[in-house]
Chain A
Amino acid sequence: MQINNEFKPKIVAFCCNWCSYAGADLAGNNRLAYPECVNIIRVPCSCRVNPIFILRAFQRGADGVIICGCHPGDCHYTSGNYYTRRRMALLFSMLNYLGIEKERIRLEWVSAAEGAKFAATMNEFTEAVTALGENKRLEDLRCKK
């Protein structure tokens, strides 16, 4: 058994209150397992997620960040996720341009009914991040303890 030496990533998931957070709850209700390393932060809408939060998470040692919101057109606030989509498209592209592994950051639309999708997404994302290994390119060494 090598489990103890295995790399366990740290993943921050920003979930909008109305769809994705509820989707995560549904995954819980249905006991659909996903890795412990996924930690959810509740935000009112995916458009509340500032790129600063994402970079801060990476700086502080997160290995992957995923943003989840309502499907386009279903935003509780009618247009919030459309802004998220533009902001994240540009941010993801920029991080990629700087040579950051694009698999470390992702955006998924998860509705309140998609508990299974939430769990599957988290499993898949964790797997992808685990395959990449530790986040070295975006980490701030001073934050390491």
Chain B
Amino acid sequence: MQRIGVFVCWCGSNIAGTVDVEKVSEALKNEPGVVFSTNYQYMCSQAGQDIIKDAIAEHKLTGIVVCSCSPRMHEATFRKTAAAAGLNSYMVEIANIREQCSWVHKDMQSGTEKAIILGKAAVAKVNLNAPLTPGESPVTKRALVIGGGIAGIQTALDIAEAGFPVDIVEKKPTIGGKMAQLDKTFPTLDCAACILTPKMVDVAQNDKIRIFSYSEVEEIGGFVGNFTVKIKKKARYVKEDVCTGCGICTEKCPQKKVPNEFNMGMDNRRAVYIPFAQAVPKVATIDPNYCTMLKTGKCGVCAKVCTAGAIDYTQKDEIIEEKYGAIVAATGFNPISMDKFDEFAYNQSKDVITSLEFERLTNAAGPTAGKLLRPSDGKHPHTIVFVQCVGSRCDACAEKGKEYCSKICCMYTAKHAMLTRDKYPDTDVYVFYIDVRTPGKAFDEFYRRAVEEYGVHYIKGMVGKVSPEGDKLMVRASDLLANKQLNIAADLVVLAAAIEPDKSARPLATMLTASMDTNDFFTEAHPKLRPVESPTAGVFLSGTCQGPKDIPETVSQASAAAAKVIGLLAKDKLMGNPCVAQSNELMCNGCSSCERVCPYGAITYADKEFRMPDRTVAIRRVAMVNEAVCQGCGACTVACPSGAMDLKGFATSQIIAEVDAICK
């Protein structure tokens, strides 16, 4: 039997004004288990807390009920008070007689009656409380960042800065991601490479950061603080630690006809390649799909020219297993495929390009060495049409494109238009828009400059059709404000293709048991208050894998994710919430209902041996709760048909005791 103390707070006149506190403490004295009951003006004050502490010692209390304000206000306070007096913090229950009684009722008599009922319910619950100890689990002080774009780079740098080791897994041969492919960045127009590559070098030189380039995550197990991850290092047929990145092999390789993905396939690279000059790690990679040596066993030119002896045609995929305390998803985005948008003639004409291709066309390291030339004939285009919202803001039922706004297109299109007019004032630039969306620091000013200073023709309306005619592209579009249909003979059409999460995100989310929305963007733990955390503890989100973002936003989210990771890794032990689910093995059916409703993947199953009544041994599948992962929602307790699942702190018996006390 518990020895319960009841402490009724007046809260000045906040409670005492509508509730007869004397009567309440008197009435609760007679409840089962109650050995002490008192009231005081301000229970949360030092003096009030001392009353509680003294009573715990004097009356050897095993549980206390504080009738006061909302537990959301002072539950933590009174738990600390109890702990200071040597009582388990979870032996404290609060009866909310202020917010849910004295403040909403006017009549003293009925207010007092209700306060007594609420007090009785709390007493009934405490009678069934058991001391709870938060589970502790150690923290592996190493973080994993999946994706080596600007988001992953920034997150890794910030974590390393705080002194924790970080690994970056990047599926491409180099880190840098999409930002490395960009020419200039809005709205300041500084060169992307100039601000990105120093960061890439920082990453390479930081002894806390390891880069697993040309690698993919194969398997993730464990939970917050204790993830075990298998990383597949794909064979690049070049010894990473031996290769000096001199690039001789990439010049001598006889296989010259490999589409260069870094330049969006607008020129060719060799079968052995370094994606771009500032690649990190600056190590060559042999593309097994094109290498003659790997395909037919005849060639071997690169091995002959390599003075360092780095080429190794026998290299195999390697699996590395590592433990991590936290994982950051930074898998980034891709422009969507234009295959379904026949009306823009993307697949018919080389001169219809996406914006990312346009970036490469204007980049000094691109296929045209920075000169804006048409891909088809290398001529300078005089009329350029930019089409916005291609595949963004589409109806869900339309089956092509995405429902969301891709967010970055308005600004980069303004940038492209402006830069084109700046470099080639003889060019006519048209931008067809539905809305121009420029919320952001110095964004609208930027767009207005494109219109006012650079004379870009912004036309409200959408392009309906692009048809190649001779060496021109006939663009038929509407000008909604003039209620006119326009026919423009363009030399180049640039499509602002919608962006979508990288294809690797979905399988990764499954491995992480992290949730995703219907568009395959990772879901955040709370859309406003926890935007860089996944609902799965220990998993954080950085960059466009969570939603469309521009670079500044990505970087700030990357740093925010890093801050969260640092906060986690700084702890030696993780104290869990002790109010977690608990499975009673004897009653568990092993039916998996609980597992299916658990949003956190906290439930696993094991085959256990049970002695049967006839002394034989039977093996049964039973559920086990990982207390470090469980957040204590209780969905499993109701899904469980046998009632084997219970929730500590909100046990079935406790809630029923409250129901009974109220309904009595």
Q: A39-B114, A42-B71, A60-B664 are in contact. Are A25 and B99 (CB under 8 A)?
A: yes
Task: Assess whether A31 is in contact with B104, with CB atoms less than 8 Å apart.
Answer: yes
Which single member of A27, A44, A52, A56 contacts B647 (CB below 8 Å)?
A: A44
Q: Is A127 among interface residues, defined by CB-CB distance under 8 A?
A: no
| Bound Cα distance from A44 to B650, whole angstroms | 8
| Bound Cα distance from A40 to B99, whole angstroms | 11
| Bound Cα distance from A143 to B663, whole angstroms | 9
For window 44-63 of A, CB contacts with B under 8 Å fall at 44-45, 47-53, 56-57, 60-62
Q: Is B597 among interface residues, defined by CB-CB distance under 8 A?
A: yes
Q: Is A36 among interface residues, defined by CB-CB distance under 8 A?
A: yes
| Bound Cα distance from A98 to B72, whole angstroms | 39
Q: How many A-B residue pairs have CB under 8 A?
A: 133
Task: Assess whether B659 is in contact with A10, with CB atoms less than 8 Å apart.
Answer: no
Q: Which of B205-213, B353-361, B457-465, B630-638 contacts A (4 or more CB under 8 A)?
A: B630-638
For window 84-103 of B, CB contacts with A under 8 Å fall at 96, 98-101, 103
Task: Assess whether B663 is in contact with A45, with CB atoms less than 8 Å apart.
Answer: no
Task: Assess whether A27 is in contact with B104, with CB atoms less than 8 Å apart.
Answer: yes
Task: Assess whether A25 is in contact with B634, with CB atoms less than 8 Å apart.
Answer: no
B20 to chain A, nearest CB (A): 14
> Please, which residues of chain A bring their CB within 8 A of the CB of B639?
83
Q: Which of B105-113, B161-169, B295-303 contacts A (4 or more CB under 8 A)?
A: B105-113
Question: Could you list which residues of chain B lie within 8 angstroms of chain A, going by C-beta atoms?
Answer: 70-73, 96, 98-101, 103-107, 110-111, 113-114, 117-118, 121, 515, 523, 525-526, 535, 579, 597, 599, 631-635, 637-639, 647, 650, 652, 655-656, 658-660, 662-664
B373 to chain A, nearest CB (A): 49
Task: Assess whether A33 is in contact with B599, with CB atoms less than 8 Å apart.
Answer: no
Question: Could you list which residues of chain A lie within 8 angstroms of chain B, going by C-beta atoms?
Answer: 10, 12, 17, 21-22, 24-25, 27-29, 31-34, 36, 39-45, 47-53, 56-57, 60-62, 76-80, 83, 87, 119, 143, 145
| Bound Cα distance from A87 to B410, whole angstroms | 45
Task: Assess whether B104 is in contact with A32, with CB atoms less than 8 Å apart.
Answer: yes
Which single member of A28, A36, A80 contacts B99 (CB below 8 Å)?
A: A28
Q: A24-B99, A43-B650, A77-B599 are in contact. Are A57 and B104 (CB under 8 A)?
A: no
A23 to chain B, nearest CB (A): 10
| Bound Cα distance from A39 to B114, whole angstroms | 8
A46 to chain B, nearest CB (A): 9
Task: Assess whether A44 is in contact with B98, with CB atoms less than 8 Å apart.
Answer: no
Task: Assess whether A61 is in contact with B635, with CB atoms less than 8 Å apart.
Answer: no
| Bound Cα distance from A98 to B114, whole angstroms | 32
Which single member of B114, B515, B638, B660 contacts A47 (CB below 8 Å)?
A: B638
Task: Assess whether B655 is in contact with A53, with CB atoms less than 8 Å apart.
Answer: yes
Chain B residue, CB-CB nearest to A33 = B104
Q: A32-B104, A33-B105, A83-B635 are in contact. List 8 more A-B contacts (CB 8 A).
A: A27-B99, A45-B633, A56-B659, A57-B659, A62-B662, A62-B663, A79-B597, A80-B634
Task: Assess whether A60 is in contact with B104, with CB atoms less than 8 Å apart.
Answer: no
Which of B101, B106, B632, B658: most chain A Cβ within 10 A?
B658
Which single member of A53, A61, A80 contacts B656 (CB below 8 Å)?
A: A53
> Please, which residues of chain A bring their CB within 8 A of the CB of B635?
45, 47-48, 77, 79-80, 83
17 pairs of residues in contact across A and B, judged by CB atoms under 8 Å? A22-B72, A25-B72, A25-B99, A27-B104, A28-B100, A29-B99, A32-B104, A36-B111, A39-B117, A44-B579, A47-B635, A51-B638, A61-B664, A62-B659, A62-B662, A77-B633, A145-B664
Chain B residue, CB-CB nearest to A15 = B100
| Bound Cα distance from A40 to B111, whole angstroms | 14
| Bound Cα distance from A82 to B663, whole angstroms | 28
Task: Assess whether B634 is in contact with A41, with CB atoms less than 8 Å apart.
Answer: no
Task: Assess whether B104 is in contact with A28, with CB atoms less than 8 Å apart.
Answer: yes
Task: Assess whether B638 is in contact with A87, with CB atoms less than 8 Å apart.
Answer: yes
> Please, which residues of chain A bring their CB within 8 A of the CB of B113?
36
A49 to chain B, nearest CB (A): 7
| Bound Cα distance from A57 to B661, whole angstroms | 10
Task: Assess whether B663 is in contact with A61, with CB atoms less than 8 Å apart.
Answer: yes
Which of A22, A24, A28, A145: most chain B Cβ within 10 A?
A28
| Bound Cα distance from A10 to B529, whole angstroms | 37
Task: Assess whether A78 is in contact with B515, with CB atoms less than 8 Å apart.
Answer: yes
| Bound Cα distance from A12 to B661, whole angstroms | 11
A81 to chain B, nearest CB (A): 10
> Please, which residues of chain A bring their CB within 8 A of the CB of B526?
76
Task: Assess whether B659 is in contact with A12, with CB atoms less than 8 Å apart.
Answer: yes
The 8 closest A-B pairs by CB, nearest first: A28-B99, A48-B634, A60-B663, A77-B633, A28-B103, A47-B635, A25-B99, A45-B633
| Bound Cα distance from A32 to B99, whole angstroms | 10
| Bound Cα distance from A40 to B117, whole angstroms | 10
Task: Assess whether A41 is in contact with B121, with CB atoms less than 8 Å apart.
Answer: yes
Task: Assess whether B656 is in contact with A83, with CB atoms less than 8 Å apart.
Answer: no
Task: Assess whether A39 is in contact with B118, with CB atoms less than 8 Å apart.
Answer: yes
Chain B residue, CB-CB nearest to A14 = B655
> Please, which residues of chain A bring their CB within 8 A of the CB of B599?
77-80
Task: Assess whether A48 is in contact with B647, with CB atoms less than 8 Å apart.
Answer: yes
| Bound Cα distance from A62 to B664, whole angstroms | 9
Q: A21-B72, A39-B114 are in contact. Are A78 and B523 (CB under 8 A)?
A: yes
| Bound Cα distance from A78 to B110, whole angstroms | 38
Chain A residue, CB-CB nearest to B600 = A77
Task: Assess whether A10 is in contact with B662, with CB atoms less than 8 Å apart.
Answer: yes
> Please, which residues of chain B bring their CB within 8 A of the CB of A22?
72
Task: Assess whether B105 is in contact with A36, with CB atoms less than 8 Å apart.
Answer: yes
Task: Assess whether A43 is in contact with B655, with CB atoms less than 8 Å apart.
Answer: yes
| Bound Cα distance from A141 to B398, whole angstroms | 59
Q: A39-B117, A49-B638 are in contact. Are A25 and B100 (CB under 8 A)?
A: yes
| Bound Cα distance from A43 to B654, whole angstroms | 11
B127 to chain A, nearest CB (A): 15
Chain B residue, CB-CB nearest to A87 = B638
Chain A residue, CB-CB nearest to B664 = A60
> Please, which residues of chain A bring their CB within 8 A of the CB of B631?
77
Which of B73, B96, B111: most chain A Cβ within 10 A?
B96
A16 to chain B, nearest CB (A): 9
> Please, which residues of chain B bring their CB within 8 A of the CB of A27?
99, 104
> Please, which residues of chain A bring their CB within 8 A of the CB of B99?
24-25, 27-29
Task: Assess whether A60 is in contact with B655, with CB atoms less than 8 Å apart.
Answer: no
| Bound Cα distance from A20 to B98, whole angstroms | 16
| Bound Cα distance from A137 to B96, whole angstroms | 31
> Please, which residues of chain B bring their CB within 8 A of the CB of A52?
652, 656
